[in-house]
């Protein structure tokens, strides 16, 4: 298993440009999430999905779009990048909920995005 993979690892954008951060998992997890982490801070939830075709907003959704057409993939789109979106982005996936709640999350290695 590759686990959770993210591409690209690094990206520099100019203000107003658009791009898509890719996230894929091969563990057949239903739940996937996107977080951002600013310097010296904890992670903040952007969007999440509880299964193919189902997405919902997290704590800081503005400026980001997501879709979930397959179980494996959960791309994050920046439609018009702004300097405030300079951050490290982490994708995560989670086990199915089981009795006893062993629903630990698995995180990808992150994408470091700079918006000039």
Partner 1 sequence: DAKTTQPPSMDCAEGRAANLPCNHSTISGNEYVYWYRQIHSQGPQYIIHGLKNNETNEMASLIITEDRKSSTLILPHATLRDTAVYYCIVRAPDSWGKLQFGAGTQVVVTP
Site for partner 1 contains 25 (CB under 8 A): no
Contact region with partner 1 (CB under 8 A), list: 16-24, 29-37, 65-73, 78-86: 29-37
For partner 1, the closer of residues 33 and 87 by Cβ is 33
Task: Please provide the distance, in angstroms rounded to a whole number, between the alpha carbons at the two ends of the chain.
Answer: 36
SS3 content of the chain, % helix, strand, coil (to 5): 5, 50, 45
Task: Residue 30: count other Cβ atoms within 10 Å of its Cβ.
Answer: 17
For partner 1, the closer of residues 14 and 100 by Cβ is 100
Query: Of these, 19, 22, 27, 45, which contacts partner 1 (CB under 8 A)?
Result: 45
């Amino acid at each position: 298993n590759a686990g959770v993979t993210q591409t690209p690892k690094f990206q520099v954008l100019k203000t107003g440009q658009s791009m898509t951060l890719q996230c894929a998992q091969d563990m057949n997890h239903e739940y996937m999430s996107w977080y951002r982490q600013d310097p010296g801070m904890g992670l903040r939830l952007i969007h999440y999905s509880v299964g193919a075709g189902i997405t919902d907003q997290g704590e800081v959704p503005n400026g980001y779009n997501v879709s979930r057409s397959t179980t494996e993939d959960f791309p994050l789109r920046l439609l018009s990048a702004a300097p405030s979106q300079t951050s490290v982005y982490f994708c995560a996936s989670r086990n199915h909920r089981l009795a006893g709640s062993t629903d630990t999350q698995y995180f990808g290695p992150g994408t470091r995005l700079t918006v000039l």
